[in-house]
Amino acid sequence: MRHSTERILVSHGGNLPRPAELDELIDGGRDTSGANLDEYKRGLPDGVRWVVDRQIECGIDIVNDGEYVKAGSFGGYIGGRVSGIEEQPATRPPKNPGFWGRDGRNFAGFIASGLSNSGSGGPVRPGFFKPGGNPGSRPNQATQRLVTGPIKYTGHEAIKQDVANLKAAIEGKDVEGCIMALGVGTFCAGPYNEYYRDQKDYLFGAAEALREEYKFITDAGLIVQLDEPEIARAWHFFPDWTIEQYRSYVELLVEAINYSLDGIPEELVRLHVCWGSGHRPHISDIEMKYISDIMVKTKAQCLTFEAANVRHEHEYHAWENVKLRPGQILGPSVIAHATDLIEHPELVAERIMNYAQIVGRENVQTNTDCGIGSRVGHEEIAWGKLKAMAEGAAIASKRLWGK
């Protein structure tokens, strides 16, 4: 992974709008297992080339495949790539109270209104999440996923195709390629464990399986991004925990993440952390200052994290007293998914400068709060935000390098 040695390098957090012909085949992400799914998969190589070229046009240096293989859910794709998990009729309450475990104490009326969602204030672009909320707790589910045996990775053919699609799309182009993969902590936050002895064994068992996906990506010379919202969002899931208890949990998560990265080059790994992209008050989010010193222990060269929305933009100060590991890079978000307003490039530059002044210009790249393909109101907004990010990075680069 390149450092920003001559200018601020530009990257982003994940999913991007799909070309219309692909989007129509899966009903905008609502039907990802229907009759047109095979045709959708056959169209992925061309779709990935299209989205790589669009990213380059916008000024992106570290591109991805748009996460097109994850059209239904950012983490749901992994269900078809592992064994040891069964879907069974629900016999117990949901595993955790969701984000309303904390915010729900003060905003029950807002939750009950159903206004909470992951898109913009207007129509929500179909994608990873759908509108809706519930007062105080998660609704009972008809089925639940249970870990009933050892978790094994079975997605070798799928990840082989993902890698082939992206490598073909970037061949001969002056960009780095990145594939986003579900992190072990966020993976284990879903299914109930009925096989492993305890949470640590569960995490480490899953880590050993998921390592196969990560290693296949990096063996191909691509960057792997571990999506780990669990590091920040889980604070909502354990509403009675103290900060000390939560920090112990995050330490365990990082230990498991590092185990999943055993034998994988650190310079090809980046970690993504966020508080969940729903349009909620977020007043109860754990503060970055309580987790940043633990995040740097991850064996990832680049740490990317939510930093551009009104709840977290000020938290660049949390990094003032944190020492990065040798060679480590920060990829703070400078573009928010919480609004369809496109950030002014001068604001983007200012956000970049805040971090460059703390950790050094060579140790900063740009990012977005999360993938923005399904979290803003229209695809034109997503591309506009990426362009604004690149323009802002150019302004910051001129100020930092004087050219």
Burial class (CB within 10 angstroms; exposed 0-12, middle 13-18, buried 19+) of 323: exposed
As a residue count, the chain comes to 403
Tell whether the model's pLDDT for residue 369 goes beyond 90: yes
Tell me the pTM.
0.93
- Could you give the count of Cα atoms lying within 13 Å of 144 in the half-sphere of its Cβ? 20
What does the pLDDT read at residue 117? 59
Tell whether the model's pLDDT for residue 121 goes beyond 60: no
Token pair belonging to 336: 């928010």
Please state which of the ranges 25-29, 114-118, 198-202, 284-288 shows the lowest mean pLDDT.
Answer: 114-118
- Please give the single-letter amino acid code of residue 7: R
Phi, psi of 225 (to 5 degrees): -105, 120
Count CB-CB contacts under 10 A for residue 158: 17
Tell whether the model's pLDDT for residue 201 goes beyond 90: yes
Distance CA 194, CA 184 (A): 17
What are the tens digits of pLDDT across the range 249-296?
Answer: 999 999 999 999 999 999 999 999 999 888 888 999 999 999 999 999
Tell whether the model's pLDDT for residue 134 goes beyond 70: no
3-state secondary structure the chain: CCCCCCCCECCCCCCCCCCHHHHHHCHHHCCCCCCCHHHHHHCHHHHHHHHHHHHHHHCCCEECCCCHHHCCCCCHHHHHHEEEEEEEECCCCCCCCHHHHCHHHCCHHHHHHCCCCCCCCCCCCCCCCCCCCCCCCCCCCCEEEEEEEEEEECCHHHHHHHHHHHHHHHCCCCCEEEEEEECHHHHHCCCEECCCCCHHHHHHHHHHHHHHHHHHHHHCCCEEEEECCHHHHHHHHCCCCCHHHHHHHHHHHHHHHHHHCCCCCHHHEEEEECCCCCCCCCCCCCCHHHCHHHHCCCCCCEEEECCCCCCCHHHHHHHCCCCCCCCCEEEEEEECCCCCCCCCHHHHHHHHHHHHHHHCHHHEECEECCCCCCCCCCHHHHHHHHHHHHHHHHHHHHHHHCC
Nearest one of 231, 111, 125, 227 to 180, comparing CA atoms? 227
Tell whether the model's pLDDT for residue 94 goes beyond 90: no
Give the residue-averaged pLDDT of 79-85.
95
Tell whether the model's pLDDT for residue 129 goes beyond 60: no
Per-domain boundaries in the chain: 20-401
Distance CA 301, CA 268 (A): 7
Give the residue-averaged pLDDT of 125-132.
37
Distance CA 96, CA 303 (A): 27
Confidence of residue 35 (pLDDT cuts 50, 70, 90): confident
The CATH code for residues 20-401 is 3.20.20.210
Confidence of residue 116 (pLDDT cuts 50, 70, 90): low
Decide which of 136 and 391 is more confident.
Answer: 391
- Could you give the count of Cα atoms lying within 13 Å of 402 in the half-sphere of its Cβ? 0
What does the pLDDT read at residue 11? 98
Q: Report the percent of the chain where pLDDT is more than 70.
A: 93
Q: At what angle do helices 199-219 and 243-260 cross, to 10 degrees?
A: 40
